[in-house]
């Protein structure tokens, strides 16, 4: 049953990612050289946020609120659950295994908070405080993703070495 859940979560994550990629490709012409807020690894300035908001057409906003925003709720949910399942599978120390949900849960909360702030920026007035907070959450999200990937790789190598040693 466990591998089937991982497979389903993996397929769901890829399907939602595909939908996001398609929807983003529809609004990219409006953005020019800019990227949408939450895809900016280094965050963004108040001026860039204003530029992005002003560049989006009504059609692009409809795509954002009708496709991207709903999918961007499920995407972090699926990839964080998948990462959590990966951590549980690869974690060999039973004593500290209860730490496994911490990073994926924090990442999910940060990603969702960022999404709602970006939505607020696109719907309302662009303020420096909203942009600073949203940009900071974007940067934090990417740092947490990097930490999670490194953690999974380290645990994966450790798991592989333990299995290899046990089979000898």
Indicate the number of domains in the chain: 1
User: What CATH number has the domain bearing residue 103?
Assistant: 1.20.120
CB atoms within 10 A of CB 18: 11
pLDDT tens-digit map of 8-30: 999 999 999 999 999 999 998 88
DSSP 41: T
Q: Which pTM value belongs to this model? A: 0.87
27, containing H or E segment: helix 2-31
Structural domain span for residue 40:
2-167
CA angle 117, 120, 121 (to 5 degrees): 90
Report, as ranges of residue numbers, the positions in the chain whose pLDDT lies below 50: 1
Report which of 26, 82, 77 is spatially closest to residue 56, judged by C-alpha positions: 26
2's CB contacts (< 8 A; 6+ apart) are 85, 89
């Amino acid at each position: 049953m466990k591998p089937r859940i991982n497979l389903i979560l993996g397929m769901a994550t890829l399907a939602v990612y595909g939908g996001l990629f398609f929807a983003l490709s529809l609004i990219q012409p409006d953005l020019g050289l800019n990227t949408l807020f939450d895809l900016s690894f280094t965050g963004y300035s108040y001026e860039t946020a204003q530029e992005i908001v002003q560049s989006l057409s009504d059609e692009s906003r409809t795509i954002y609120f009708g496709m991207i925003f709903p999918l961007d709720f499920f995407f972090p949910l699926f990839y964080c659950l998948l990462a959590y399942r990966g951590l549980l599978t690869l974690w060999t120390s039973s004593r500290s295994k209860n730490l496994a949900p911490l990073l994926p849960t924090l990442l999910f909360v940060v990603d969702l908070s960022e999404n709602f702030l970006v939505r607020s920026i696109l719907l309302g007035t662009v303020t420096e405080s909203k942009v600073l907070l949203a940009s900071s959450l974007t940067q934090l999200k990417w740092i947490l993703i990097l930490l999670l990937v490194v953690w999974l790789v380290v645990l994966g190598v450790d798991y592989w070495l333990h299995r290899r040693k046990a089979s000898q």
